[in-house]
């Protein structure tokens, strides 16, 4: 098996605050192969976006501190200088940020914002950068690109702004694209268009994608493999089909149980959505046992005292739960 494009090992991102250490990401490991789409899911505050920002070393130090290993094409990003990281950000690794209205510069037109990356990393002239910007707007499906390229963010709809963000991210043909909640705050029809666009571009450009989301519908649409995070830790990982068919961790089961089922009101079955009781524990407090024990219906004293290790419960399917069903795995 060839070396993965991205290999994250025991990533820890902690923040020093007056109230103590906030363990936003607490020892997660995963890999992403070339051209693969991996989703990281979990509710708000579980550490998904901090994981994404850590991969690009966008966490301010102090108060933040990143530890562990983030290897991209065999190079540990945590050991590179800031100048070397700047050569990678927006070039080999790009990111689509969560909210385009706050991520785009309100006083620069679209051509300047797409062109900035091209001039910095590819040394294009202003004219060449504008031509490439028009080409990128065409690629992401914006009509009248030659006119739109001279407009400002406030003149564009939410869906168009998100497409501009994707155009900026793809301008330098990155090998890895990190998409942080790319469809949040968009209406469902625009969400579907953006997902179709990402699928189409993945096949055309061939970039690997790390998709950060809390929307399991989005995961089912575009991902090949899923990592479930809870309270800064990875609690389950599997191929998307296996995870939806047979979730092994009680938290994943709770997430899937809270998704509305189409047509359930027509069949006469119970339509009330399942909920996960309780609250996410404070990340400022060191938890000795399972991080999900305080909200888990199956928790025992063992769970509260001893943190479960990530174990392979089925081929290619790992979960951190003492009581998750384990299938016989051929040696």
For residues 37, 38, 41, 45, the Cα torsion angle rounded to the nearest 10 degrees is -110
Specify which residues 16 forms β-bridges with: 21
Residue 9: pLDDT band (50, 70, 90) is very high
Identify the top-confidence range among 9-18, 176-185, 261-270: 9-18
Mean pLDDT (whole number) for 127-156? 87
Specify which residues 209 forms β-bridges with: 37, 177
pTM, two decimals, is 0.86
pLDDT, tens digit, 9 for 90 and up, residues 264-292: 555 555 566 777 887 888 888 888 889 99
Mean pLDDT (whole number) for 111-135? 85
Query: For 11, how many CA atoms within 13 A lie in the half-sphere containing its CB?
Result: 31
Mean pLDDT rounded to a whole number for the chain: 85
Q: Is it the case that residue 221 has pLDDT exceeding 60?
A: yes
Residue 331: pLDDT band (50, 70, 90) is very low
Mean pLDDT (whole number) for 128-140? 85
Lowest average pLDDT, out of 50-59, 118-127, 314-323, goes to 118-127
Predicted pLDDT of residue 228: 94
Proportion of the chain above pLDDT 90, given as a percent: 27
């Amino acid at each position: 098996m060839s070396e993965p494009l991205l290999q994250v090992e025991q990533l820890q991102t902690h923040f020093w605050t007056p109230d103590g250490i906030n363990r936003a990401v607490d020892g997660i490991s995963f890999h992403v192969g070339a051209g693969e789409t991996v989703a990281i899911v979990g509710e708000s505050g579980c550490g998904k976006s901090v994981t994404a920002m850590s991969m690009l070393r966008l966490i301010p130090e102090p108060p933040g501190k990143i530890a562990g290993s983030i290897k991209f094409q065999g190079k540990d990003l945590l050991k590179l200088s800031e100048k070397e990281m700047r050569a990678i950000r927006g070039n080999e690794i790009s990111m689509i940020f969560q909210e385009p209205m706050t991520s785009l510069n309100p006083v620069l037109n679209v051509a300047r914002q797409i062109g900035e990356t091209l001039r910095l990393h590819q040394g294009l002239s202003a004219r060449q950068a504008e031509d490439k910007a028009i080409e990128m707007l065409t690629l992401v499906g914006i009509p009248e690109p030659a006119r739109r390229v001279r407009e400002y963010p406030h003149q564009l709809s939410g869906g168009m702004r998100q497409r501009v963000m994707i155009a900026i991210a793809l301008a330098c043909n990155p090998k890895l694209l990190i998409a942080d909640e790319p469809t949040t705050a968009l209406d469902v029809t625009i969400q579907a268009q953006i997902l179709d666009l990402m699928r189409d571009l993945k096949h055309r450009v061939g970039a690997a994608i790390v998709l950060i989301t809390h929307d399991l519908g989005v995961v089912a649409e575009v991902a090949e493999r899923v990592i479930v995070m809870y309270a800064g830790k990875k609690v389950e990982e599997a191929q998307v089909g296996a995870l939806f068919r047979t979730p092994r961790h009680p938290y994943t089961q709770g997430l899937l149980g809270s998704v509305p089922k189409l047509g359930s009101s027509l069949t006469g079955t119970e339509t009330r959505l399942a909920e996960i009781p309780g609250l996410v524990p404070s990340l400022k407090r060191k938890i000795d046992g399972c991080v999900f024990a305080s909200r888990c219906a199956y928790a025992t004293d063992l769970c509260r005292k001893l943190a479960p290790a990530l174990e392979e419960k089925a081929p290619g399917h790992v979960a951190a739960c003492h009581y998750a069903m384990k299938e016989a795995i051929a040696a």
